[in-house]
Structure 1
Amino acid sequence: MTRRPARLARAVSCALAAGTLMTTAACSGDGGTDASRARGVTAEQAAEQQRQTPSPTATLTTDGARMALITEADIEDDWTQVRDTEAENWHDSLLIGTVDVSDFLTAKAQAASCQRLINSLFDDDLLGRPSGASALRGFEQGDSRLLYQVASYERTDPEDSLHWMAKLPEKCDQFTVTADDGGQRTVQVIDIPLPDVGDAREGLRVTVRGSTGGENATLTLDVAAVRVGDDAITVTAGGLDGDENDSVEQAVKQGTPRLKDVLAGRTPTPNPSQIE
């Protein structure tokens, strides 16, 4: 195969990619060393900057959503991953019931928000039904469970749901739910802090006190949602053993960069990301 003259090859390369830092360096007479130094950037540094710059956000696929899921190594303590089919069927009966409208000053409006909360916790769709790809993974530790979901909301707006979540500690700070058997449960909602990750985020702790199987019980759930563009991570963790706030924080801290990597066309590292 006939090789093109070096000068012609260099000229064609410059014409095709004019304007980028690396091309400017490559088109200089001595391989770009002087041009790079003039900008205070070496050719190696320029290459590293280009490698670290995320590509345009891609549409999340089902395979991508699964790739973005966390593993046991990403969360602290002794969580054990369960089968996906088992996690899909996790529903806590303490979350079934009708909100008592008489608990609220503005009645129907506030009661509707609180009803939406307990319904979405039971159905595992805190941000609404995904309009695109989605994947979930479940973990167990004693009597506690952690459900981690990655989903695309490309035709809906996860930001609206985050705004709704942000108002719940005020609107639904405490209310009563009446179960089908007439039993009453007290629900309290407070906000919890989350690591500064993603484009937007909200965290809640929901405590339900009532009875199950004829015995008094307290269900504590820590809930987090993190938006990355039109996609989002949701984490729900807890049970009768108490709060799981540390594990929720760790999940979003390690999981958000995994989702960002997938959307940038990169394969997430198999080991937990070290983010301070």
Structure 2
Amino acid sequence: MTRRPARLVRVLSSTLAAGTLLSTAACSDDAGAEGTRVQGVTASRAAAQRQTPSPTATLSTDGARTALITEADIEDDWTQVKDTEAKSWHDSLLIGTVDVSDFLTAKAQASDCQRLLDSLFDDDLLGRPSGASELRGFRQGDSRLLYQVASYDRTDPQDSLNWMATLPEKCDQFTVTDGKERRTVQVVEISLPQVGDARQGLRVTVQGSTGGDEATLTLDVAAVRVGDDAITVTAGGLDGDENDSAQQAVRQGTQRLKDVLAGKSPAASPTD
């Protein structure tokens, strides 16, 4: 893994005709009723998404630390690393400038894709936390898992989740250039356990070369909102995706955060 160069720091029915005027009017009424119903359902879903029934106690630094997952939460052969090592993880395959020519709407879409890569490199997928923030890293072969708990009480993590939801369409496939090297990036949506107040998952695949060597980086990225707080998980590496571990981290981590916000001690981590 390399440090990011300074020059790249902030640069992942047609409509059927009715036979008669009466049937046209009837169809129009039906369509209007259906449109109203659909709008109502959409509005209800949006309102439900913005509700925060989970505890909203202020997350302290100690609380965020307590809410972090452990090796037992993700099982397999993951080994926890020192915090200083986890904070220094920056993958060079994520460095580069998005090729604007890949996009129909050019700068607008390219900007979203550049933001994705930059936020994955900088470990701030939901933006900079406005409150307490803690992270923990795990290693397994050439794969890594970074888990973060943070408070966004003066910002809105839901805005970032909504932005993430647009990326599989906006950034489904694009090219990144880094000097003479060109890499292909693909972004698809992944499902997550139905936990927290809102959630979004992505799989980001980067294919290309670094230092002249061909490589493929696969990352499963997940974010879950619990009130004004959130957890984020980034898992994967050159060995391929780590979806099972990411799913476990999301499930166990969300419950740990909810317990902390409710003033409870998180349940003991599962054991084999």
Q: Measure how far apart 1:55 and its partner are.
A: 9.6
The answer (yes or no) to whether the contact 1:143–1:239 under 8 Å persists in 2 is yes
> Within the alignment, does 1:230 sit opposite 2:228 as a pair?
yes
Match of 1:102 in 2: 101
Q: Return the structure number with greater relative CO, CA threshold 8 A, min gap 6.
A: 2
Unaligned runs of 5+ in 2: 1-52
Q: Give SS of 1:237's match.
A: strand
Take 1:215 and 1:271, find their aligned partners in 2: how far apart are those partners? 40
CA shift digits 1:57-115 (9 cap, x unpaired): 31000000000000000003110000000000000000001000010000111000000
TM-score if structure 2 supplies the norm length?
0.79
Question: Which one-letter code corresponds to 1:133 in the other structure?
Answer: A
In 2 relative to 1, CA 99–259 (structure 1 residues): closer, same or farther, beyond 3 Å? Answer: same
Match of 2:165 in 1: 166
CA shift digits 1:23-74 (9 cap, x unpaired): xxxxxxxxxxxxxxxxxxxxxxxxxxxxxxx995310000000000000000
Match of 1:219 in 2: 217
Q: Give SS of 1:185's match.
A: strand
The answer (yes or no) to whether the contact 2:192–2:200 under 8 Å persists in 1 is yes
> Within the alignment, does 1:76 sit opposite 2:107 as a pair?
no
Question: Which one-letter code corresponds to 1:264 in the other structure?
Answer: A
In 2 relative to 1, CA 171–56 (structure 1 residues): closer, same or farther, beyond 3 Å? Answer: closer
Q: Give SS of 2:128's match.
A: coil
Q: Give SS of 1:257's match.
A: helix
Match of 2:153 in 1: 154
Take 2:215 and 2:54, find their aligned partners in 1: how far apart are those partners? 49
Take 2:218 and 2:269, find their aligned partners in 1: how far apart are those partners? 30
Take 2:55 and 2:105, find their aligned partners in 1: how far apart are those partners? 45
Correspondence for 1:265 among 241, 248, 263 = 263
Which structure has the bigger radius of gyration? 1
Take 1:55 and 1:188, find their aligned partners in 2: how far apart are those partners? 34
The answer (yes or no) to whether the contact 2:70–2:269 under 8 Å persists in 1 is no
Q: Measure how far apart 1:270 and its partner are.
A: 2.6
Q: Measure how far apart 1:271 and its partner are.
A: 2.3
Q: Percent same amino acid among aligned pairs?
A: 83
Q: Measure how far apart 1:269 and its partner are.
A: 1.9
Match of 1:11 in 2: none
Match of 2:85 in 1: 86
Match of 2:242 in 1: 244
The answer (yes or no) to whether the contact 2:218–2:238 under 8 Å persists in 1 is yes
TM-score if structure 1 supplies the norm length?
0.78
CA shift digits 1:120-156 (9 cap, x unpaired): 0000000000000000000000000000000000000
Unaligned runs of 5+ in 1: 1-53
Compute the RMSD of aligned alpha carbons. 1.4
Question: Which one-letter code corresponds to 1:113 in the other structure?
Answer: D
Q: Give SS of 2:167's match.
A: helix
Q: Measure how far apart 1:207 and its partner are.
A: 0.2
Aligned length: 219
Q: Give SS of 2:205's match.
A: strand
